[in-house]
Chain A
């Protein structure tokens, strides 16, 4: 029953993606896309480390924003996790994590401007929402027995620390360290809206065709993420966390009156601000919905569904790269496995936005770069996790080899976990799809960006809220599907 149900659901998704494909807009419009690609490859092969005097700064700031943002997010998330049984806390967390870091940054830019706080909060707030949920789950899973043995009158905090937290601590630490990798990606991407991180320099280098610098920046970034587990040690963490706030740079001073102005004027819908009352508000909202929100939602959904299926196909095709059932365990097999790992690290370390940005330069504007970017990045992540999963399977000595081994032995066994992972990423893919709009692909982010460019934050806020609701909706749908297919739950913690 369960197998045929997953088959039905899979085929349903593929059919839906085919329909979406017919409505989508896909083409390569540049005249000579491969020449440009060649130049980028040259840049990667012959990176120009000397020409980039800002290289050190880009890396330093990227690290600093990631550490401070993730650190604050973890602290906030932990406090929220303790209150997670309240519906309002759960709702609050669901909303803040449904809004992408870049949208948060665009919001804070309006009143904190180019102050480091903008970048720090843009990471800390959505991460707090995610941390709260996962920490709460981890704490729930801890054994309640020790708590019952406490002497009467033990205060709440000691009780928590010595019973539940003591058990959950290793999981909390490993999850937090994992989120740091996500934080580095988020931090890099914040450069695209003006924070002094990697994305800032990467965009400039790209715009000027300085591919040597692009190569140098990308290689450093991959190295940073690839070696994460060697330089992020629990014992070194406090040191990093203490140093990071001092390395954020100064930016421009905050003018606090801007904050109240933003909340009392800027985001109040124009008709209300101008005293037109409800009569003015309804046509204003209607106009916004019909001309911007609906086309934005349509394109976002279209792109998400196509990208989701392509991500799945790519993940199922690529996981053998790191699965020792296919690479072999010894001798050259190890080498093959390592190369596979490098391919997947590069794929998952490159943020979607960055990939889409590069592909847009290569192929010109259409949905194609966005779909390819989403599928490459997310496919890389899922392939990595499915590959790890497949390594836990023991095959019979006389199991078939090659394509038969894939089709009859391994793939069926990892298909359930694979679907679970894919559905976990559904919401993430949609959130990213929306944000890719700021590069000019007409998803919701495009209209948010337009509203911001027109200095109309009232419209931007409505559109951001709609995006958040859409994400929450998909999240709920995905959870239902997982329950329907009885897919395992605990791999949740791997996705970012």
Chain B
């Protein structure tokens, strides 16, 4: 056994006192699972709850493999024989309760009592998502996190983002749909001192008001009909991290009041609870709506707008980013060619002219989709106009110099949050939907053949068919 380190007088004073062990573990940014000798869970801390989605109360007595669901647990558990003499470190993945696969680094270590007898195990778990994302992208120029750009507008944004990341104030991100608000929010988190903490995202427009309140703030057992157990809200899960509220413009007025109260006193009151929870959460909000206009129309609280608008980042639409279209075209070509193992080497000059002349109403997301389509259709050599969606050429002729739908960067308050399926005419999703339908008609409804024609995997085809609401018998 290694000798105990000598303690200073001050350390002696602290360490000889009774310490609240569970509280100490809950303060750690790493997930911690404590198990007995049979590897049944005894305790898990808040960080592990955020990674796996389990609750400490629910996992007690459950075999660790059901709690962690890690690949290593199930295929090569280091403590399979119940013995472990020293720490084991491994990289693996887990599937959490939100059905997401998360890369993690785990360290399993034995726990001994004062008499050197093994009494159980402790496993620490580190979420590797930020590290992986950072590692993959760090060596590339003209980018900040996952946001790519070299235009003066983006350079200005990149200069200010690190400063804002270091601050703990609320941030409001604005920009048209497809400009990369979600990516920027995640980058802000990864570059902040909260990077080790959780990044929790919630779409304020995706849930009805009552559900959203419970999802955000949690509820206690018996708070309403059907509340059969306590539920921790996203604020609780984001403790020591960042809560990203996307589509904040869709947040119902009553919840705006509750959010404002939180921003003021930093205490979360779950539905039906009398006691609050002091959550250390940074709030980042995003919207494609014009909040100032919504305030004038009485649809968004002015006081909340002022609280969120402490730091504001506006992502310009792609058509205003000089030189970025070319950069992004090359970037996504490399990305998709590498990921799909296609020998696509570049763009033929005619295809490039078409791509540079198009003004991308769907912004970076649309550009990315166009390149993905082209790489899948082209397969090898250079991308020519026939590998591009047909609407690119048509659109150029159809659009008048000032397109009424986009003459202002302000998005109408009543505009839908995202282009919903089935999409509107003249957009990339519409073209893609049409291409899928044509392939299905050609293949007489046979998805396997349709997928082959499109140069996609069958799973890609069904995912896209599902997205566009296409069903075949």
> Do A and B interact?
no
B interface residues (Cβ-Cβ under 8 A, vs A): none
